Amino acid sequence: MSKLEDLIEPFLTNTLSSPLVYDTTYKGVVTGLAFTTGDITVDFGNGVYNDHHYHYGYWVTASAILKKLDPSWSGMAQLETMVWTLLRDVANPNSDDAYFPKFRHFSWYLGHSYSHGVTPMADGKDQESTSEDVNFYYGMMLWGKTVNQAVEDLGSLMLRLNARAVRTYFLMTSDNTIHPPQFVPNHVTGIFFDNKADYATWFSAEKYCIHGIQMIPVSPINGLVRTTTFIQEEWDDILSKEAIVTGSDTTNAWLSLLLVNEAAINPADALSKLVTTAMDDGLTRSWALYIAASHRTESRLATSTCASPLCAAEFTTDDQVCLNPSWSSS
């Protein structure tokens, strides 16, 4: 617990190397480096509202875990203020909020978020790391579980809708009819623009990166979108043939992500290699081994939840949802 609290402390006191500031133009919380350097690309473009649902999901999820495990922590009141602020920045349901827009990143029509912010793009807005998107709404649901039923319900609803969209549009099994048949064997869309799908990343042409970016952070909720069928096909057709896998390149940290994923279908092989493989810088070996050893796909949310009438009705299938969002608890 002390290690987690120490890691959260700089976020709590806003003493990170790139502190957060409030932007009055677009009404949101951004990292300050874009203003001090004049470079809108720093921090992945956070200053122009790129990737907020990716970046802030880590803080929200970690904070929810801390609040569950140590609710009496001395910094909890201040932490709550910070988390509520980030939630309002990304997924604010209140159209009367004078400081943040309503649902900045999430498209209720499409069922998924956009990662691109306010700068123009020739092919329209895009989404890349679906797993980080899922992580935000998972964290939102967990945070609500500790403090507010309506927030838990809204987070659960957005998580379910998002997961369905990811399984439909972003992670392709061989029976996918949404994309052209010659594109489906890629199994992941890469960068999903409004006007095209580009089997690529913003930072690397390596296939293990194109696929690995859809696996971070390693989390039990990834099983909600990464089905056994998908993992098996992706592994057999793409990942098992990658040089870092065939050559067991244990110095390449991306291999750790691929192996945790492989554990869903080949647990013995994956676990034996995870013991010595270099870890991704956002992943500890103990967590990787734990998730790999307890792998579950097709994760289900609680099937007996009674949702607040002010927020959402939660059903046992992903096809049935309704919404009347509010931060208010019933």
Residues 25-44 pLDDT 10s: 999 999 999 999 999 999 99
**What is the percentage of the chain residues whose pLDDT exceeds 70?**
89
- Look up the pTM and report it: 0.89
- Rg over alpha carbons for the chain, rounded to the nearest Å, is 20
- Residue 211 near residue 126, CB atoms below 8 Å: no
- Pairwise CA distance, residues 92 & 210, whole Å: 30
- Pairwise CA distance, residues 258 & 289, whole Å: 13
- Does residue 271 surpass a pLDDT of 90? yes
Residues 179-208 pLDDT 10s: 999 999 999 999 999 999 999 999 999 999
233 φ, ψ to 5°? -65, -45
- Pairwise CA distance, residues 56 & 87, whole Å: 8
One DSSP character per residue, 275-288 reads TTSPPPTT--HHHH
> Where in the chain are the domains?
175-300
162 — pLDDT class (breaks 50, 70, 90)? very high
- Does residue 305 surpass a pLDDT of 80? no
* CATH number at 175-300: 1.20.5.420
- Does residue 321 surpass a pLDDT of 60? no
Q: How many helices (H) and strands (E) does the chain have?
A: 12, 9
Residues 230-258 pLDDT 10s: 999 999 999 999 999 999 889 999 999 99
* Residues labelled as active-site residues: 51, 128, 132
Closest CA to 130 of 56, 211, 206, 236: 211
- Residue 278 near residue 250, CB atoms below 8 Å: yes
